[in-house]
Structure 1
Amino acid sequence: MDRKQNHTPKSATMTRRSALQLAGAAALAAGTVSTTGLSAAAQSTPSPAAPAYPLVLEQGPIKIYDYGLTLPTDDVTFRWADHQGVRVPFHEALHAAFMEAYPNITIEYDSLGQDLAELLAVGVQSGDAHDVLPSNAGILAPQAVREGWIAPLDDVLPNFEQWKAAYPPNTFLPGINVFDGKTYSCPMYASKLHRNLLFYNTGLLRDAGYDPATTPLTWDDFRAAARTVTEQGNYGFISAGGPGSSFVVTLAEIAGAHGGEFNWQTGEFNYTSDQFLAAIDLMMAMNDDGSFLPGMASMTDTDVRARLPQGRAAMYISGIWNVSIWEQAEPGFDFGVASAPVPTSGEAFPLSIAPGIGEAYYLYAGSDYKEIAAALFAFVGSLEGNVALKEISKAVNPAVFPEANEIVDHSERGKRAIEINDQQLRLRPAPAVRNLDATQVEMERRPVTPNLMDVVNGIFSGQVGDPRAAMQDLQDRSNQELDRAIQAAVDSGAQVSRDDWVFSNWDPAEDYDLEKYEEL
């Protein structure tokens, strides 16, 4: 479908620089993609500061520059697909300013909901996808590159090497967002985004005699605080869909189940570890205490966020984004943010997080307007753009440029949330960075059913009577599926083995950066 409103295409070269040659989908390899070495594919060596571009339009923190790109002069429509949430006001402001600077360009910004992944898949398969696609909406980068769905940015963005070099280390990684030495994503948010902070109703916990503001609750304190709040007429804990897997995984990993569900040092699943079983025991003890809000198994996160300000429950484990949501929607709600509970005895460990999973954007290889995407990406993927993102969204979510988190002011709660985020999260290893053929395994893997969430909820509801046996069965099935997927990849020509999931030099207390891969 032709999205040009004028079917006689013309373009004009903007005055400052000559046009960049655009990389089309034909440049993508049709077969297996390869990397050119870890160091070469990672962050470029920093260059001198990029020359200042002429400012076309300024609206608050939004700045539209003349990057010297060849932009269409016909009336055209450019489409950008995205998630809903805190990023939306920023993009709406950016696109409005861009359309004012270039009135012939209409940007359709589709902030989609639950059907996002399905709609994007249909668009890609039909050849009529949005020009810009969000990275975390069910599109696997290795598959998208191999199939020619997304385009590299190297020959599209102005001063690409300087743009890329400005990003923090470990942003661009082979097998994650770099393939054949080409870079395929425009990151906006940091990979280190805390999904499991403890939020609490300050008044309810204070009345119960607890204040985790500076010292995290131990498991014993957590249970006792929840029980006391319940005895005082409310409920101690609430969670969307029941306690679920995040409750168990978070507590278990802080207690020493390194990697959460999978131990990257040993290459084994952690489901039968002492920490997982102990976290399940704690969940069931709190259930016996009557500390969980009845009916929470059928609640959504939106439902839960409404209950805490109402005083129906005292504690909730969820993501850092809740700070901004409550501060904007419930300014009178007195709540606190802290680390999730730590073990009553023994060391508390960091939480691991996969590299390269921060929210980012892909350029659709079939886009007719890659130069428009380049002009937008050049600002989105910059410190200046990150500052604008933070200022407009008023969100605590850590931006990919850490300086932006310091430049933009946050509430004391927001500062505390970012502090815990930085203190507690560590990048874990990724098999695809070590061996690109591991991506074929991930594409072969099938969901294990029942999964961890199903098993934990079954234990919680009483439908599963033997937690240890259920977790052993889950571990066995998970191992079998990983082995099956590896064999399927090998049968298809991949050179990969279970050893690629073992990182003997992984220290859970440190980021696993590119230098660590080189040591193997």
Structure 2
Amino acid sequence: MTHLPSMNRRRFMQAAATTATMASLADVLAACSNTASSGKSKTATIKHWDFYVTQGPWVDNEIKLFQQAHPDIKIKKTTQANAQYDNLVALAQRSTNIPDLALIPQTPTFYEQVKKNWWLPINKWADEKWRSRFPDLALHEGSNIFDGKLYSAPLNALAVPFQLYINNDVFRKAGLVNSDGSVKIPRTWDDVTHAAEAITKKSGGQTYGLGFGNGSFPLLNWWLFIFLIGADCPGGPGDLDLRTGKYTFASNRNYADWIHLFKEWKTKNYIYPNSLTISDEVARAYFERGKFGMTVGGVWDQSEWKQHQFTDYSLTTLITPNEKPESLFPVKPGGYTFAISTKTKYPDETFAWFDWLYSVEAGKRWVQMGEDLSIFPQNNKPEYNSFKPYSQYIATAKFSVTGPDPTIRNPDVSYVSPQPVTPAMNDILTGYYTGQVTDLQGALQTFQDKSQQALNDAIKLAQKQGHKVSADDYIFSDWDPTKPYITRKK
């Protein structure tokens, strides 16, 4: 399943006059006071782990506000390396260096992490009043609830998680402007090719059309989100097509067509030549300085560029072979961001910090600082952030739509945990880009077959464990990927 990054890959959020909603939180502070009177230290130090870099100022500000409201609780934040984060959390589970609250890693699956007893259920504190702050289906069995126990919640609402960023100055110098002088925003694969060619040629090779940084973290999959999901590939780089319940990396020709085009951009020197070796951080700096005119990133890039006073850029997403997307980005309701360790010595105090991050007021500040959309719709108002590129990001929400969610229709699907397949899509794309993969269609077919087999094996294992699941749970034959789909429970 494509995780963003439910990826939410960018996820979080409260305020001084806060909703420290529960009576239990008052009990927490009383307990701290009682501890002090017994001769022990009255300050609880909560270890917080995440991999936020550009979002770091928001976290730091929330820590400052939280500690002002809770002087008996100290937050010790550690920002871990993004590329190593999953491994670091797994290693921490086998050591004494365990964070009290952490950003949930992407692997293994969240359910597997729960099964390994990494995370603490929060039902003790998260009563119906607490849960009622969230939109419908944000909390549901199979996503962040397992066997009736709630472990996490989403912090940000997802539009399309990645965008194509355009350096306006580079475009103007290449003559890529409309009759009114505005920058000509690419909408099709051909538009991007034309823009990359114009930039590279008119600069005499001093500026490249496109660039990225893959040296510190494999991010080529980000490009597939932008260029393939709208091209009738709603599964994207790692998910199946829920219309048929099948992986279509080889059978849907748009995958190979775009990867061939990507390689053609490289062959024609439209892409900055050191893109595979420089880091994403360096690539952002090079884009800011005009070394290339287009790059792929997320809304989190904007806060860094704003700090550098770089604001002359535009963005778009879901670039397609034709003008109109044949499928939109499917957002699954639910999701997860932070969780509390089962081994914390301060469960009440840690939940107080968890509760603060998940408050409406913290979500409002998240939007005001331009980090992302808040899970709370009332926070996503233009007046909370009038910065033009951020407004353009909010506008890309029109390219996302509520998609089918097998875990809502049958919560037992959450017990299906396919093993990761290698080489994965990012490996295939990198290998073809460098020439190490010569048979692209064969590589895609192998990846498709292995992915399908991994899913089938995981379904059989779940069935042996007594869970009522089948391949049919992944088929939504009535789904039109250009329209919202409301999954109904069985």
2:386 alignment partner, one of 376, 392, 410? 410
Task: State the AA in 2 paired with 1:428.
Answer: G
| Residue 11 (structure 2) aligns with | none
* 1:188 Cα deviation after fit: 2.1
Partner Cα separation in structure 2 for residue 132 and residue 310 of structure 1:
37
1:356 aligns to 2:346 (yes or no): no
% identical equivalent positions = 25
- Distance in 2, matches of 1:453 and 1:504, equals 28
| Number of corresponding residues | 448
Find the residue that maps to 2:416 and give its secondary structure: helix
- The corresponding residue for 1:322 is 301
1:378-430 CA-partner distances (Å, limit 9, x unpaired): 33222222123334xx224112112222152230111111111x111224333
Runs of 4+ that moved beyond 6 A: none
Deviations along 1:278-317, whole A, 9 cap, x unmatched?
2123223323322111111112211210111222111112
**Residue 226 of structure 1 aligns with which residue?**
196
Gaps of 5+ in 1: 1-59
Q: Counterpart of 1:463 in structure 2: which amino acid?
A: Q
Q: Is 1:368 aligned with 2:322?
A: no
Partner of 1:438: 413
| Unaligned segments of structure 2, at least 5 residues | 1-13, 36-41
Query: Which residue of 130, 155, 158 maps to 1:163?
Result: 130
Confirm whether residue 452 of structure 1 aligns to residue 425 of structure 2: yes
Larger Rg: 1
Residue 264 (str. 1) matches residue 242 (str. 2): yes
* Maintained 8 Å contact 1:255/1:347: yes
In the superposition, the TM-score normalised over structure 1's length comes to 0.78
CA 364–139 in structure 1, closer or farther in 2 if over 3 Å, else same: farther
Specify whether residues 496 and 396 from structure 1 end up closer, same or farther in structure 2 by C-alpha distance, changes over 3 A only: same
Q: How has the CA–CA distance of structure 1 residues 457 and 95 changed in structure 2, closer, same or farther, with 3 Å as cutoff?
A: closer
- Matches of 2:304 and 2:147 in 1, distance apart? 40
Q: Work out whether residues 403 and 484 of structure 2, in 8 Å CA contact, stay in contact via their aligned partners in 1.
A: yes
Instruction: Note if contact 1:186-1:377 (Cα within 8 Å) is conserved in structure 2.
Output: no
Give the aligned partner of residue 303 of structure 1: 282
**1:483 and 2:456 are equivalent in the alignment:** yes
Secondary structure of 1:305's aligned partner: helix
Tell me, what secondary structure is at the counterpart of 1:505?
coil
Deviations 1:74-104 (A, max 9, x none): 3232222222224433333333344344444
Aligned-residue offset at 1:138: 3.6
Contact 1:149–1:364 (8 Å) recurs in 2: yes
How far off its partner does 1:61 sit? 5.0
| TM-score, normalised by the number of residues in structure 2 | 0.83
Contact conserved, 2:143 with 2:407, CA < 8 A, in 1?
A: yes
Match of 2:75, SS?
A: strand
Q: Does structure 2 retain, via aligned residues, the 8 Å contact 1:188–1:381?
A: yes
Q: Paired residue for 1:109?
A: 77
The offset of 1:215, in angstroms, is: 5.5
Q: How far, CA to CA, are the matches of 1:398 and 1:172 in structure 2?
A: 18
Superposed CA RMSD: 2.7
> Which segment is superposed worse, 336-345 or 200-209?
336-345
Question: What displacement does 1:235 show?
Answer: 0.8
Question: 1: CA distance between counterparts of 2:65 and 2:304?
Answer: 26
Task: Tell me what 1:145 maps to.
Answer: 114
Greater RCO (Cα-Cα under 8 Å, separation 6 or more)? 2
Aligned equivalent of 1:80: 48
Could you say if the C-alpha distance between residues 128 and 434 of structure 1 is closer, same or farther in structure 2, counting changes exceeding 3 Å? farther
The superposition leaves residues 18-49 of structure 1 with CA deviations (integer Å, 9 ceiling, x where unpaired) of: xxxxxxxxxxxxxxxxxxxxxxxxxxxxxxxx
AA at the equivalent of 1:434: R
